[in-house]
Structure 1
Amino acid sequence: MLHSAQQDIISYTIRQLPNPTLFLNKNLEVVYASDSLIEAFDLKKRKVVGQSILDLAPNAPKQWLEVLGNCLNGVQGQKGIDRFIGSNREVFWFEYINNPWYDADENIIGILIQVTDITERVNIELEHEKTQLLLKSKSEIARIGSWEYDAINDKLHWSEMTRLIHEVPEDFEPDIAKAVEFYKEGYSRNTISLAVHKAIENGKPWIEKLQLITAKGNEVWVLAAGKPLYKNGQYIGLLGTFQDITQHSLSEQKTKESERLLRTVVDSLPLNVYIKDLESRKILVNRSEMEYLGAKNAEEVLGKTDEEFMSDTSARMSREEDLRILTHGKKFLNQETIAVSKDGTHTHFLTSKIPLRDAEDEIYGLLGISLDITELKQKEQELRELIDVTSQQNRQLLNFAHIVSHNLRSHASNFSMLLDLMDHETDPQELSRIESLLNDASENLMETLENLNEVVTINSGQPADSVKTVKLSQALSRVRSSLEGLIKDSGAQIIDAIDPGMTVQGVPAYIESILTNLLSNAIKYKHPDRQPVIRVIGSRENGKTVLSVADNGQGINLERYGEKLFGMYKTFHQHPDARGIGLYITKNQVEAMNAQIMACSEVGEGTTFKIYFSA
């Protein structure tokens, strides 16, 4: 046994060894271990000396354990390669050299294991194998072969894939002449012959898409490429590649046929179809879009924006639509738009715009589809005008019926009251006055009938001076005469605050009917505690003539009944003669004259109606 000092020296020396080294006793326990080994196998945190190698490497392969056993029996130099995964999951490769450990008397006392890190070498070999496998796979997948011509020995070599493409047997010996004869007679054979000649004579490389006939008679498309080889400035041969592109060519041909078919279909659509890039430049247009833009061919449109064909406003709106789609990816579907061309022509479109995305889901443009609906919009407008005319006529007929009913009832009531007064009156002078009032009422009735006849003319589609200049003060005077009996019976006071010269453009029958309704309502719904006072005022507001009828009657709760105020058969007071039709008629008559009516009221104080006539 060596004494302790010698053992320390040996242990220290072994620890300094640059290569990972391990000494095991016969029990496969570690006696010495170099620091480089402990570091290589990430054993810094573990006790190594005195530990069994089986504990330190529990996953060691059985084959290595057999090698260790052989070492104890004197077998030297046995090697092995193993993979080790570090704590950071990094992979290392090591080569082991296993030898017996002898003492000074040549007795085997254990095992000496020397380890070499061969990670870099293994990775290079693996990468080389991977590259070769990848190249072979690519060659098989892409059907790319190679060839080399040795001009000095006049030998042509084809790779395995080149032979497969030519469909020749394994014992086929190619040469330049035979290789050229495989190309289809005509363009392909002439092209390859000229390319080879230029390469040899002028050093010019080539790459051509050609057809050839294989040894089995099959016609294929190939991409043939080649270039001359030189050594010390002297031509020594040719080198090239050879790719079977038959499927690609067929697919390309089918794609072109599909594109032609699609183009025919798109050009035949009664729609404007276009594609824009991120700058809103058109990169594809169909025939309808070209015709709309006044272009003879696509070249006049492609690469241009809407600014070159539309008004500034239309172009700006179109660009804003494009940006929303290109920026946010939102679709713009079935929206009615109006495009104004440079010459001022307005075209109505039903437009859809859809973002176009690439394989990475990035937007690279948009597809636009527009249907010209200008004619449809014109028909729609004509139909709307027809409906408006029909509605107007229906409304006028309804108004006429209500005027007949309402106004004649007012005259009848007036006659009834005057006759009732006559029955109870004994004073000759008063009877004479009542007879005069009856005559006036009769004349007013006749005038009302004449006005109604004029309304009939209007509703029959024969305007015939239906809209006239009406003096409001005179119209009020006639209405007051027709309502004289009602006014007298109720004790109402009518205050005429209209300038005698104030006029409006309107239908006389409508204006008198409106005044009749408003005055009779003011009397009918008078306040029970006071005599009715009605002010009829003419004024000017914001360029319009305003006719106001203000009373001191019961008033209307507009918060409750405001929305129903001008509705048909809507009543707001308990009165036996309430029909709920007067204000409905009034509103329709006002609107028929392109005027407006508004009301303000306070319960218990009274109501004011204002009619705004256009200048």
Structure 2
Amino acid sequence: MQKTHTNIFIDDAPIEIGVLDVNMHFVKCSKFWLRKIGKTEKEIIGKSYYEVFPDTTDDIKKIHEYCLKGSYISFEGEKVVDKTGKVQWFNYKINSWENEKDKVGGLIIVREDISHKRNEDEYRLKAQEVANVGGWEVNLISNEVYWTSITKKIHGLDDDYVPNLETGINFYKEGYHREKIVSLISEAISNGTPWDEELIIITVNGEEKWVRAIGRAEYINGKAVKLTGSFQDIDERKRAELVHSEVQKRLNIATKTANIGVWDYDLAKQELSCDNETLILYGAETSTQKNLHKAWKSILVEEDRDRVINEMHYAIQNKDEFNTEFRIKQRNGSIKYIKSIGQLHKDQNTGAVKMIGANWDITEYRHAVLKLDKRKESFAGVFNNSSVGMALIGLDGKWLKINKSLCNSLGYTKAELMNLTFQDVTHPDDYLKDLNFLDQLIAGEIDNYQIEKRYFHKKGHTVYVILSVTKVTKIDGSLSHFISQVVDITSRKEAENKVKSVLKITADQNESLTNFAHIVSHNLRSHSTNLSMLTGFLINETDPEERANLINMLNESSDSLDETITHLNEVVSVKLNVLGKLEGVSILETFDSVRKSIIAHLKENDVILNIQIPKEFVVSAVPAYLESILLNLLTNSIKYSSPKRRLVIDVKTKRERDKVVLTFSDNGLGIDMKRHRHKIFGMYKTFHKHKNSKGIGLFITKSQIEAMNGKIEVESSVDIGTTFTLYFNCFK
């Protein structure tokens, strides 16, 4: 009966239990254990334990041998790794059993699978290690203190460190933190109040570290006997929180100071919430928070409402930025402009998708922009329609913008002028003066200047203007560009020049008349004296032959007087009535006409004539004067050619702004410039012994070209040749 009960107990025991004989063969095994190992009773009864469990270690086998000697043993935490690599942990209780002869009949083995519990312990320890959480315990009866290895590690201590209550408290930072932990411990011991506090400790290395200290007291019979708790390193998280808190604090100050409101819109709940700054911005009551989205839509200006709502929907659907401006109508009827920006954001904790954004008042900015736009329109109207030339000029001298009047004054299209700089169209004699004033503007010495200057027209003639320049600065005070106003005064200047020319002609004529009077007085006196003397001789002479000779001398003196009077008439005629006779004359056609008139003379003297005169060069001249000038230069070159070489004459022209420059060169006898430079164009000045030299040609040539507002220059070298340079005004 006893055995039957024993068998039933073993069979139905809710634990892993087995009975083995002295040879370690199974005699009996609980069904619970059989199910665990996936065997039937028939498969293991009579089988060796080591056959059923081939992974049994040698240490366990030694324990079995020890227990078969009549001993009992219990041990925990045997680790078993099967062929598949699966790890299991077991607790064992092993005892010998005796047969009827009171001898050891075998072993009773009770096995408990603690793998799940052991894994949980390991996971907990790993979690504590990862989270840097240590444990601690204080026995208030024996004053013994226990710290886990992680707690010691947090303090910067080795594992062999033995803590006590006083040194443990002294690790807390002196001042608030140490006083706080002492207060918490006292409260826990006195009243049983648990604590959970974030404090600073000073590690053994002197490093400040934030920790989370959790603790509670255990009581027996109303007396605190133990303190237990955990200890976590939260330094990295806490410092990040403090930085975030500081940033948030600054942000709050900034948004409040700048009147920037923050809002968020929950997409799922379709709820809008905001901070107090936003409510102030919209002039709403705190109670409006209950239905803020509806209230917001209601105060949008009707013309903006649909657009703004559609922009928000578009940003949500396309996960794009919400960036817009709109107007709201306030209670007093005034309009306020609002700038609003938002971004989609997913809450990591709740998973809720929200659009989070900010808005601020831009009413003053919008009003300023509207005023600026009106001023720009006004300036653009004045700029484009002004009868005065206007331009915006960059710091590099390039046109930024020009108006039609300036284009008309200079004869360029807008596209042509934009490809030039102001330096390109400025008269070289005025460039440095203009640049000097610009340098003063840039240096901040002056704010504007006004000068009279000259530009070149596209066709080459001079345009006289009054230029006013003002500098324009940026908000930061640095120079942006220049505004130039150009008043065309060409017609006025030409009138002034004409008056000056008339006055000059008058002065020249007066001077010429004075000179003429001297010449007449001198020349005619000489001729009259000569005639008087010859007449006296003739009256008193009786010799027929001598009388005939005196009559011949009287004829020659009369011819000389006639020639002198002719020359004087030519000089006077050059100075009179020139301005009304100026017209456009082709240099090439005139020169060709002169050449033909003396073609025989040119061939007789075997002259080489090189002509480079473009057909389009037309000058302002009196045709007869221009013909006379060219004829005189040609005949002089032939007259004063060198007997040593064949005469070569080079005639060239070029354009210099509003002038046509003609150079007339030969390889003749040349003139000694050191001796005669100041006498070359004098009346009756000759420099070579030639039977036909009278010294009147160059004098008349200079008078003629100056009468046409031109000028003549000369360079010459003895036995090398002479070059005359003549300047004529282009015909307008």
Bigger-Rg structure (1/2) = 2
User: Structure 1 length as normaliser, TM-score?
Assistant: 0.47
User: Structure 2 length as normaliser, TM-score?
Assistant: 0.41
Higher relative contact order (CA 8 A, sep 6+): 1
